[in-house]
Chains A and B, each alone.
Chain A
Amino acid sequence: MTLAVIAVYMAAVLGVGALSHRLFSGTGEDYFLATRSIGPFVLLMSLFGTHMTAFALLGASGESYRSGIGVFGLMASSSALVVPAVFLFVGTRAWAVGKRFGYTTQAQYLRDRWGSDAFGLLMFAALVALVIPYLLIGVLGAGLTLTDVTGGQVPTWVGGLVVSAVVMIYVTYGGLRGTAWANTFQTLVFMALGAATFIYVVNAMGGLGATMLRLAAARPDLMVRGDNFTPIQYLTYAFIPLSAGAFPHLFMHWLTARKASNFRVTVVAYPICIAIVWVPSVLLGVLGNLDFPALTVPESNSVMVRLIGFHAPALLAGLLGAGVFAAVMSSLDSQVLALGTMFTKDVVNHYGYDKKMSDRQQVMVGRLFVAAILVVAYLLSLVTRTTIFAMGTWSFTGFAGLFPIIVAALYWRRSTKAGAFAALATVAVLWTYYFVQGWGLPDYTVGGTGVMPVAVVTLASALAMIVVSLLSKPPEAAIVDKFFPAA
């Protein structure tokens, strides 16, 4: 039954991808950016679906199982403010620049913005290096979920393979429009199924109020932040959602908007969408302690699946599996498409083939890169073993560190190429240092102070940008006039 539900869901996703292909014009602009034609609702759903991964369902419930209700404030509500603010102040500006100059990728823009080919190449390398662990979250999450919802009957490698194959088909076939449509469908699915799962399981456990009181009596430590989190950790963790301002896959989705005002719905509705996904996830994770009081860290990432297996029929287990697959694929598709587009535009086109390739050939190259990236990500997932939450946090830390570079490019006319290099170098050095120090230590903070590495990396990046820009020669007037025209 479980496998049949998931199979039907996969067929439905492929159907949506095939439908979108009917609008495909065959041009590069259409494949890579859906001809900048996306309306407000699809923009909201595709941005939200792209941003939410298995991290929001499996990682969050696992972390809540271990640390209690404070996970909601730590990760979800901070994102509810910071991410829409990033869309409002950064996304709309990036959209305007992309529209005006015809950009498709961040490296294209930043290369022109600071007149440096080398900076564009380094930024490309940094973005690719940071997206790959993010991709692995999805592939690993799919594998673990399929194994859990089938009671261990299906090995872990199968789920990742299925997800990678389905994504490969509809992304290479439908491009960004197919991805946006499939994301919209999948986002609606995982929001609805997450809510349905929550209602069913909580009712089966005796109702939310009674169950929470029972848990409060048994595990009062999970009802408060207490020693599970520190205020300084809360404050500095709020830097993590700034990563949304540097994700290449979100950047590409911003550029698909038909007009700037299409961002309005996204900005206002985003916090509501976050609450719809994270409240069930956090509460189910916490409540899992009643039925499964002694899970190990890796086991706790599947606490939601275990609850369903314990309380619900196989049909619901299949639906939850489909919901997790929806969350996984709606991120994975945009990430691989963004990487394929970056390889095509920032490497193949920029270094020698710009005038030699037809539109159709560019689309073909983009498709081949998508396929190759998925194969590599899948193979890496077979040899990677770590908690989903830890991988996400380190990836987001690096992206948040790049955020000041994007902000300076868009807002600060006095920012210079030297400042941008300094900021990028600062992120690379600090990120590597903290990664080496903190890898394998889930509660790692800077010097044990409670300060999350992301805050130090981001603030140091901003400081390097400001100080080195002010100490270096002002940018050329031609560049400033191009990107900051007089009103």
Chain B
Amino acid sequence: MRAAIYGALGLLFVIHTDVWLWNDGRFLLGLPVGMSYHLLWTVAVVIVLWLAVRYAWPKELGDRQ
């Protein structure tokens, strides 16, 4: 699980540079697709980070006070 989540974070980094939409002027969700893509991408980041703190929290930290 931990490896899958870290892999997902890496994949998100790679697909951040969306060359396939670079010159695409169409609109999606009321915004230019180059911007709406990054908003949807941000939502995906939130989901993966939630998985990270839920299932891949650094073991050595635990819930130390």
Partners in one complex: yes
Residues of A within 8 A of B (CB): 69-70, 72-73, 76-78, 80-82, 84-85, 88-89, 92-93, 96, 99, 208-209, 212-213, 216, 220, 223-226, 231, 234-235, 238, 258-261, 263-264, 267-268, 270-272, 274-275, 279, 282-283, 487
Q: Which residues of B from 20 to 65 have beta carbons under 8 Å from A?
A: 21-25, 27, 30-32, 34-35, 37-39, 41-42, 45-46, 49-50, 52-53, 57-58, 60-65
Complex-state Cα separation, A96 to B57, whole angstroms = 14
Q: Smallest CB–CB gap between B28 and chain A, Å?
A: 12
Which residues from chain B contact A88 at a C-beta distance below 8 Å?
49, 52-53, 58
Q: Which of A213, A225, A279 contacts B39 (CB 8 A)?
A: A279
Residue from A76, A220, A268 having most chain B Cβ neighbours under 10 A: A268
**Which of B21, B24, B52 is the one whose CB lies under 8 Å from A267?**
B52
Chain B neighbourhood of A226, CB < 8 A: 22-23
Q: Which residues of A contact B53 (CB under 8 A)?
A: 88, 263-264, 267-268
Q: Closest CB of chain A to B59's CB: distance in Å?
A: 9
Question: Are B45 and A271 in touch, CB under 8 angstroms?
Answer: yes
Q: Which residues of A contact B30 (CB under 8 A)?
A: 208-209, 212
CB within 8 Å for A224 and B32 given contacts A258-B65, A260-B64:
yes
The residue in chain A whose Cβ has the minimal distance to the Cβ of B59 is A487
B64 pairs with A96, CB closer than 8 A: yes
Q: How far is the CB of B26 from chain A (nearest CB, A)?
A: 9
Number of interface residues of B (CB under 8 A): 37
- The answer for the CA separation of A123 and B57 in the assembled complex, in Å, is 30
Nearest opposing residue in chain B for A100, CB measure: B64
**Shortest beta-carbon distance, B42 to chain A, in Å?**
5
How far is the CB of B10 from the nearest CB of chain A, in Å?
10
**A268 contacts across to B, CB distance below 8 A:** 46, 49-50, 53
A85 to B64, CA, bound (A): 20
Instruction: Determine if B49 and A78 form an interchain contact, defined as CB atoms under 8 angstroms apart.
Output: no
In Å, the complex CA distance between A70 and B12 comes to 17
- Other-chain residue from A77, A84, A235, A264 in contact with B57 (beta carbon distance below 8 A): A264
| CA of A396 to CA of B34, assembled, Å | 25
Asked, given contacts A88-B53, A267-B52, whether A260 binds B62 with beta carbons under 8 Å apart, the answer is: yes
A69: which B residues are within 8 A, CB to CB?
Answer: 31-32, 34-35
With most chain A CB atoms within 10 A of its CB, the pick from B21, B23, B38, B39 is B38
Instruction: Tell me which of A73, A76, A209 contacts B34 (CB under 8 A).
Output: A73
Q: Report whether B61 and A96 are in contact in the complex, using a CB–CB cutoff of 8 Å.
A: yes
Contacts of A220 in B (CB 8 A): 25
Interchain CA distance A226-B22 in the complex, whole Å: 6
Q: How far is the CA of A209 from the CA of B31 in the complex (A)?
A: 7
The answer to whether B17 and A81 touch across the interface, beta carbons within 8 angstroms, is: no
